[in-house]
C-alpha cells in the first residue's frame, strides 16, 4: 500500500520499514509456511528437513527439467546460516559461515542441480550407506556386486559424491572434488560407473607414498622442488599440490598467465625465484591444474550469487525458515537468473540480479493483484505521480498538505491530534495537571 509508482513498475517509493511495524512483519513471517504442520509423515528425515523436503524435491526436479547438465560439474559442501537451537546444525570453524545447516551440492556454473541434507547424528552418513562388508547388513544388490567384483567400500562422506551423480540424468560426467572426498576407492568406483573425476588429495588418502613424503618436506621448507616440475599427479606450485585424476595423464600442458605470489613462506621461494622481478608471466602449467582451477568453483559461484543479495536478517528461531528463505528461495531466484542469462529467452537478458528480481516482483504483482478481494485501506488516485509531486497533494482542503506516507504514518493506524507524541518522554519540570473534582 501507499504505492505511487507507475503501473509497469510496482516498487514503492516509501521504505517498507516506515509503513509497517516490526511486530506486523514478524506476524506475517510466522504464519507463512511452505508445508502443512499437521501432515508430516516422513519418518526417515528429522523434522526440520521434513518441513521443506517437498519444496526442495520440487525445485530439484524443475531444475533438471529446465537445465541440461554438461560434462563438467563440481561437488562440494554448502553452509546455511542458523544461529538458533537445533540438533541438525553443524559447526565448521574455518568456513565463512561457521554455524548452520550443511548440505552437499552438485552444481554447474553456479546453478545448483541436486543437493542432499547433511544429518550429523546419522549412523551411516548422509546417504545411509553401509561402511563395512557385513553380510548381515548388505542388501542383495550389494552382495551381487561383491561377487562380481564391482563393490568398492566407501566412507560416508565419499558416498555422497556417488549419490549425487546417480541423481543426475544418465550421461558421462567429469566430477571435480576437493581433498575432503578424494580417495583411490572413490575414483575407482566412479570409473566403473563410467564417470571421470579430478581432485586434490590429502596425505592420508592412499596416494603414492613418496609423494606423501615430498608433501611433508615441502610444507616444512626442506628438499624444495623446482617450480613447474610435473611428476604424474604431483606438481610444484606455490606449494606441492597432489592430484588424483582418472582423466588426465599428467603430461599435458597449457599456457596460462599467472601473477607473482606475494607470500613470504619458505615453500614459495622457488616460484618467487622463477618470476624474478616480473609481476605477470606467461608459462606452461599442467592441464590438470588449469582445468581444476576453472571447474572446481561451480558451487562457490552459486554461494557468491546467493550472498550478494541474500536475506540479511539472522534467523534464530524456526530452523525450517532458515532452510526455506535463505537456501531454497535463494536457489530458486539464482537458478532462474542463470537460466535466462545463459538460455534463449524471448525478452532482453537481464545482466544483473537486482534488475531480474525487480522484474519478478513486477510480474507477480501484475499477475495476482487483480484477484485480490480485500478492502483497500488507502489509495491516493494518482498512480502516475512522480515522487517529488507526491510530497504535496491537494486533498480537498484550503491549502496543500503533505501526504501521510511522506510523514511516516502507517496505513490503518489511528493518528492522535494531540501535540504530544504517544509514549514520549515526560518532562519532569512540568507540573502534573489534575482533573477538576466534581461536586457532590
Q: pTM for this one?
A: 0.72
Sign of dihedral through CA atoms 107, 337, 101, 179? positive
Q: How far apart are CA 285 and CA 269, in angstroms?
A: 18
Q: How far apart are CA 429 and CA 431, in angstroms?
A: 6
Q: What is the pLDDT of residues 41-88, one digit of tens each?
A: 666 788 899 889 999 999 999 999 999 999 999 999 999 999 888 989
Q: What is the pLDDT of residues 75-110, one digit of tens each?
A: 999 999 998 889 899 998 888 888 999 999 999 999
Q: What is residue 26's predicted lDDT score, i.e. its pLDDT?
A: 78
Q: What is residue 328's predicted lDDT score, i.e. its pLDDT?
A: 95
Q: What is residue 406's predicted lDDT score, i.e. its pLDDT?
A: 58
Per-residue pLDDT of the chain (440 residues; tens, 9 = 90+): 334 455 566 666 556 666 677 788 778 877 888 888 777 666 678 889 988 999 999 999 999 999 999 999 999 999 999 988 898 999 988 888 889 999 999 999 999 999 999 988 776 666 654 444 445 555 665 555 555 555 567 888 888 999 999 999 999 999 999 988 888 788 888 888 889 999 888 776 656 666 666 666 666 665 554 544 434 567 777 777 888 888 888 778 888 888 888 877 777 777 788 888 888 888 888 888 889 988 999 999 999 999 888 777 778 788 999 999 999 999 999 999 999 999 888 889 999 998 999 888 888 877 877 665 554 444 444 445 555 555 544 455 455 555 655 555 555 555 555 555 555 555 556 555 665 665 55
- CA 138 from chain centre, in angstroms, equals 35
Q: How far apart are CA 316 and CA 333, in angstroms?
A: 23
Q: How far apart are CA 133 and CA 153, in angstroms?
A: 8
Q: What is the pLDDT of residues 148-194, one digit of tens each?
A: 555 567 888 888 999 999 999 999 999 999 988 888 788 888 888 88
Sign of dihedral through CA atoms 33, 38, 39, 45? positive
What own/partner pairs with CB < 8 Å and gap ≥ 24 does 350-356 have?
353/305, 353/308, 353/309, 354/309
- Backbone φ and ψ for 90, nearest 5 degrees, come out as -125, 140
Q: How far apart are CA 235 and CA 408, in angstroms?
A: 64
Question: If you write DSSP's letter for every residue of 72-122 in order, what string do you get?
Answer: EEEEEEEEEE--S--TT-EE-TTSSS-EEEEEEEEEETTEEEEEEE--TT-
- CA 166 from chain centre, in angstroms, equals 22
Instruction: Confirm if 156 and 125 have CB atoms less than 8 A apart.
Output: yes
Report the candidate in 328, 314, 218 with the shortest Cα–Cα distance to residue 266.
218
Residue 81: all three cell numbers together: 546460516
Amino acid at each position: 500500500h501507499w504505492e505511487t509508482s507507475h503501473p509497469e513498475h510496482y516498487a514503492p517509493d516509501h521504505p517498507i520499514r516506515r509503513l509497517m511495524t516490526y511486530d506486523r512483519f514478524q506476524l506475517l513471517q510466522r504464519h507463512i509456511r511452505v508445508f502443512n504442520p499437521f501432515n508430516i509423515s516422513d519418518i526417515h528425515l528429522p523434522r526440520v528437513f521434513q518441513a521443506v523436503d517437498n519444496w526442495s524435491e520440487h525445485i530439484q526436479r524443475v531444475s533438471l527439467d529446465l537445465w541440461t547438465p554438461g560434462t563438467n560439474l563440481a561437488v562440494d559442501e554448502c553452509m546455511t546460516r542458523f544461529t538458533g537451537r537445533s540438533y541438525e546444525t553443524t559447526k565448521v570453524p574455518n568456513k565463512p559461515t561457521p554455524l548452520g545447516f550443511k548440505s552437499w551440492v552438485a552444481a554447474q556454473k553456479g546453478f545448483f542441480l541436486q543437493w542432499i541434507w547433511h544429518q550429523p547424528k546419522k549412523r551411516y552418513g548422509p546417504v545411509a550407506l553401509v561402511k563395512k562388508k557385513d553380510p548381515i547388513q548388505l542388501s542383495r544388490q550389494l552382495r551381487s556386486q561383491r561377487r562380481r567384483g564391482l563393490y568398492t567400500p566407501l566412507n560416508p562422506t565419499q558416498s555422497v559424491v556417488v549419490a549425487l551423480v546417480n541423481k543426475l540424468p544418465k550421461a558421462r560426467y567429469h566430477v571435480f572434488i576437493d581433498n575432503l572426498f578424494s580417495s583411490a576407492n572413490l575414483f575407482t568406483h566412479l570409473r566403473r560407473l563410467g564417470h571421470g573425476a579430478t581432485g586434490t588429495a590429502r596425505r592420508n588418502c592412499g596416494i603414492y607414498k613418496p609423494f606423501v613424503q615430498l608433501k611433508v618436506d615441502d610444507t616444512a621448507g626442506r628438499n624444495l622442488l623446482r617450480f613447474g616440475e610435473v611428476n604424474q599427479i604431483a606438481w610444484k606450485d606455490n606449494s606441492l599440490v597432489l592430484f588424483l585424476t582418472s582423466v588426465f595423464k599428467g603430461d599435458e600442458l597449457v599456457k596460462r598467465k599467472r601473477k607473482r605470489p606475494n607470500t613470504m613462506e619458505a615453500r614459495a621461494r622457488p616460484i618467487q625465484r622463477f618470476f624474478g622481478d616480473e609481476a605477470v608471466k606467461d608459462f606452461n602449467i599442467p592441464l590438470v591444474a588449469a582445468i581444476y582451477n576453472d571447474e572446481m568453483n561451480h558451487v562457490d559461484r552459486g554461494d557468491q550469487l546467493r550472498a550478494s543479495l541474500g536475506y540479511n536478517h539472522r534467523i534464530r528461531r524456526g530452523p525450517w525458515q532458515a532452510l526455506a528463505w535463505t537456501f531454497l528461495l535463494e536457489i530458486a531466484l539464482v537458478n532462474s537468473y542463470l537460466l535466462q542469462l545463459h538460455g534463449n529467452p524471448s525478452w532482453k537478458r537481464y545482466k544483473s540480479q537486482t534488475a531480474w528480481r525487480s522484474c519478478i516482483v513486477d510480474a507477480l504483482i501484475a499477475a495476482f493483484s487483480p484477484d485480490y478481494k480485500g478492502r483497500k485501506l488507502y489509495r491516493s488516485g494518482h498512480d502516475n505521480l512522480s515522487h517529488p509531486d507526491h510530497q504535496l497533494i491537494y486533498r480537498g482542503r484550503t491549502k496543500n498538505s503533505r501526504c501521510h506516507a511522506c510523514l511516516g504514518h502507517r496505513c490503518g493506524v489511528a493518528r492522535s491530534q494531540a501535540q504530544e507524541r504517544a509514549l514520549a518522554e515526560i518532562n519532569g519540570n512540568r507540573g502534573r495537571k489534575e482533573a477538576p473534582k466534581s461536586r457532590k
